A = this chain, B = another copy of it.
Amino acid sequence: MTEVEAKKPQESLQDRLAQVVELLHRHKVVEDLTHRQEGQHHDRVENLVHRQNLVELQRKLEELHPADIAHILESLPLDDRLTVWQLVKSEDDGDILLEVSDAVRETLIADMDDHEIIAATKDLDADELADLAPELPRDVVHELMESLDAQQRERVRSALSYEEDQVGALMDFEMVTIREDVSLEVVLRYLRRLKELPGHTDKLFVVDYDGVLKGVLPIKRLLVNDPDKQVLEVMATDPVTFHPDEDGYDAAQAFERYDLISAPVVDKGGKLIGRLTIDEMVDLIREESESEVLNMAGLREEEDIFASVWKSVRNRWAWLATNLITAFVASRVIGLFEGSIEKLVALAALMPIVAGIGGNSGNQTITMIVRAIALDQVQPTSNSRNRLLRKELGVALVNGLAWGGVIGVVAFYLYGNWELGVVMTAAMTLNLLLAAMMGVLIPMTLHRFGRDPAMGSSVMITAMTDSGGFFIFLGLATIFLM
């Protein structure tokens, strides 16, 4: 992690983005003019204006924090994005690549040759290099690895050996370690010799001669205690620690719960091998909630809003295809009752109401249960399942009778057929009960079998309430009205 002191944002990020867009626009107008006059006399004055605009833009970019430049790159269409990317001073390239979203990073790396990539990444830390490595060309990674010393290389390899969201892939290696048998005065002198401390250093790690973690010395304690005291007297001996194969999301929850800034990562033998910091955890929390939103809407992954049509189609096709199949099934359910619809065409107009309300209500239930599972609030026991079922069925019954009653009366007024109204009310109630049952059972069953309960649960519940709603409504109508 390169230390960059954040400048005070006198102007909002939106303002800065607007300024960059304005400069880009000026640049393009001039370019268009120059282009149009090509073949005719090539106007030197305009070329000069062109260059001045670029220089101004470059100066603007130099003032900005890499995270802000990353944000601006994400907000620009591809051509403008690459213009800006070429103007960014190359020492920031690595930091910016780390900050942008995966989809945007791909477009930036595609625009760089091997030489540029190596220049941008050679000063990164082992953990940062490991983050980028999967997206870099093979021979570039090879060359980068060659340039590292043995310890760094080993760290990159180790980080790459874990899944993206395991602690081992998220940790960094910038630990400040001390011994327990020295005085705080010695620790203070030692720190002064370091010249710089790694970001997010809120505690020092106390290890023995074998590198086994004995405790942590919070900086706060270092500062308020008598310098003559020994580390041993002041350190915390039972800190929250993590293992490299733990789930990063669990670690993020622990950070949130215990308000941690950094925490040691130890191997099975208790040896200190790295540390987690709150910034990585915040990214993870943000990512986790976002992937929940995206999954529910049927997007495979975060999308570059300026991605090509073709890329977007690929990101979205899987869920559309699933939806097509479930819609087809629902259509066949209706097909079963074409005879009834021919006799009473009002059924065709009323059936989407039954299906729609069921879907909406089912999605409410499933969203709540998925969240509770994600937060570990639901015990995977039949006792708590039954309790939730009872409650959700109760809510469905109330809503079904109330709203179903309203719509039943409306149906009676519209079509002057009170039996149709009663069937409507009954169908709504039954479909809401089905929605409630499935809203509890689908995520709990997925969870029980170790699947992600969020993934596709919205599509599944809608499929159930559509086909189920049509079947219940048309079935009741066929039995009682025909």
User: Is there a chain B Cβ closer than 8 Å to A149's Cβ?
Assistant: no
Smallest CB separation, A290 vs chain B (Å): 6
Q: Does A132 contact B (CB under 8 A)?
A: no
A282 to B379 alpha-carbon distance, docked (Å): 26
Determine whether the beta carbon of A298 is less than 8 Å from that of B364: yes
List, in ascending order, chain B residues with CB within 8 A of A14's CB.
376
Q: Is the CB of B5 within 8 A of A309?
A: no
Contacts of A278 in B (CB 8 A): 261, 278, 282
What residues of B have a CB within 8 angstroms of the CB of A326 in the complex?
Answer: 356
Q: In the complex, which residues 323-344 of chain A have their Cβ closer than 8 Å to any Cβ of chain B?
A: 323-324, 326-328, 330-332, 334-335, 338, 341-342
Chain B residues, Cβ within 8 Å of A293: 289, 292-293, 296, 367, 371
Contact residue among B6, B191, B398 (Cβ-Cβ distance under 8 Å from A224):
B191
Q: In the complex, what distance in Å separates the CA atom of A21 from the CA atom of B382?
A: 13
Selecting from A54-62, A82-90, A386-394, the interface stretch reads A386-394
Say yes or no: is A259 at the interface (Cβ < 8 Å to chain B).
Answer: yes
Q: Is the CB of A260 within 8 A of B364?
A: no
Contact yes or no, B324 A407, CB < 8 A:
yes
CB nearest neighbor in B for A391: B309
With a CB–CB cut-off of 8 A, which chain B residues contact A18? 379
Q: Tell whether A346 is near chain B: CB-to-CB under 8 Å.
A: yes
The residue in chain B whose Cβ has the minimal distance to the Cβ of A66 is B257
Q: Of the 9-residue stretches A39-47, A114-122, A199-207, which lies at the interface with chain B?
A: A199-207
Contact B376 A352, beta carbon cutoff 8 Å: no
| CB interface residues, A 195-229, toward B, < 8 Å | 195-197, 199-202, 219-220, 223-226
Instruction: Say yes or no: A196 contacts B220, CB within 8 Å.
Output: yes
How distant is A421 from chain B, measured CB to nearest CB, in Å?
A: 14
Contact stretch, chosen from A29-37, A139-147, A164-172, A299-307:
A299-307
Inter-chain contact B352/A387, CB cutoff 8 Å: no
Convert A401-435 into 0s and 1s, putting 1 for each residue whose CB lies closer than 8 angstroms to a CB of B.
00100110010001000000000000000000000
Give A241 Cβ to nearest chain B Cβ, in Å: 6
- State whether A257 touches B202 (Cβ < 8 A): no
Q: Is the CB of B377 within 8 A of A75?
A: yes
Question: Which of B68, B332, B377, B378 is within 8 Å of A257, CB to CB?
Answer: B68
How many chain A residues touch B (CB < 8 A): the figure is 135
- Complex partner residue of A331 from B225, B331, B350, B378, CB under 8 angstroms: B350
Picked from B290, B299, B342, the residue with its CB within 8 Å of the CB of A345 is B342
Q: A366–B316 Cα gap in the complex (Å)?
A: 13
Those of A349-367 within 8 Å (CB) of chain B: 349-353, 355-357, 360-361, 363-364, 366-367
Q: Which residues of B have CB within 8 Å of A346?
A: 335, 338
A22 to chain B, nearest CB (A): 11
A321 within 8 A of B: yes
Q: Is A152 an interface residue (CB 8 A)?
A: no
Contact A65 B360 (CB under 8 A): no
A219 to B308 Cα, complex, angstroms: 47
> Chain B interface: which of A105-113, A123-131, A155-163, A232-240?
A232-240
A/B interface sample: 9 pairs, CB < 8 A: A8-B240, A71-B257, A196-B224, A197-B220, A256-B286, A297-B368, A307-B391, A326-B356, A342-B342
A450 at the interface (CB under 8 A from B): no
A361 touches B320 (CB 8 A): yes
CB A293 to nearest CB in B, in angstroms, measures: 6
A320 and B360: CB pair below 8 A? Answer: yes
Known: A258-B6, A312-B391, A324-B403. A319 touches B17 (CB 8 A): no
The answer to whether B261 and A200 touch across the interface, beta carbons within 8 angstroms, is yes
Closest to A236 in B: B5
Residue of B191, B254, B308 near A9 (CB, 8 A) is B254
Query: Which of B21, B65, B254, B357 contacts A323 (CB under 8 A)?
Result: B357
A245 contacts partner chain B, Cβ-Cβ < 8 Å: no
For A309, A342, A348, A387, which residue has the most chain B Cβ atoms within 10 angstroms?
A348
A305 and chain B: residue at smallest CB distance: B372
Nearest chain B CB to A98's CB is how many angstroms away? 12
User: Is A482 in the interface zone, CB < 8 Å from B?
Assistant: no
Residue A279 lies at the interface, judged by CB distance under 8 Å to chain B: yes
